[in-house]
Amino acid sequence: MSNQYALSQLVPVLKSTSAFAHRGEAIPLSVEDSPVMREFTADISVLYAFNQPDLLVYLSNRELSQIGLTGDQLHALAVSNISKHIEEVVFKQLDDGLYGVACGGVLEASLLLLDGFWERLTSELPGIPLAVVPARDLLFVTGSKVPGSMQKIAKCARIPLADKALALSQIILARTNGQWAKSMF
């Protein structure tokens, strides 16, 4: 691992699992040179990157072994670093009971990994929290008891994206028992 990056710069970045299955003409990497990846839920995985100005530098399995952390230790460290790398979290009401969440344009989707954030927010959303992350920088939330919640959030899942490289998932997620999973509503 390059000495130019500090562990305090490591953040979790959510990526579409299907993007890795359809690499097209990408250069195949060995397991050691591939990015560290952890399953999250539905069609979403977690990768780990050093958050640099205007650039994310992904951590490889080789670099992880050089750091000497386990996968669980890496995940805990990266999640704990999120708050150091985001601006103020802003909720913009888009429709009755439907919100867009912004925090600087890089780690919005990664907010799904912050358990404490969702524990506090759950009391503000009627019913079970529902979320969709159509892109890395887009997070929409509502509660399952909001009238028309599934239709509202499904519409957000299908919004046209200006930058297809940031595309993430159109699957609506529900948070129950402290975990995100594909919504069954």
Decide if 2 is inside a domain: no
Mean pLDDT of 90-104: 96
Tell me: the pLDDT tens digits for 144-168? 999 999 999 999 999 999 888 889 9
**Is 75 in the same domain as 101?**
no
For residue 78, the tally of other CB atoms under 10 A from its CB is 27
At residue 20, the pLDDT reads: 60
**Is 80 in the same domain as 96?**
no
Task: Decide: helix, strand or coil at residue 58.
Answer: strand
**Is 100 in the same domain as 126?**
yes
**Is 130 in the same domain as 51?**
no
**Is 128 in the same domain as 70?**
no
Q: Angle at Cα 164 formed by Cα 161 and Cα 170, nearest 5°?
A: 65
Among 61, 84, 107, which residue terminates a domain?
A: 84
Mean pLDDT of 125-131: 96
Share of the chain above pLDDT 70, in %: 94
Among 57, 84, 111, which residue terminates a domain?
A: 84
Find the range with the poorest average confidence among 8-22, 81-95, 103-117: 8-22
Its pTM stands at 0.92
Q: How confident is the model at residue 28 (pLDDT cuts 50, 70, 90)?
A: confident
Does an H or E element contain 132, and which? strand 129-135
14-51 per-residue burial string, b: 16 or more CB within 10 A, e: under 16: bbbbeeeeeeeeeeeeeeeeebbbeebbbbbbbbbbbb
* Count of domains observed in the chain: 2
Q: Is the pLDDT of residue 62 over 80?
A: yes
Q: Which domain holds residue 47?
A: 7-84
Decide if 146 is inside a domain: yes
Does an H or E element contain 116, and which? helix 115-122
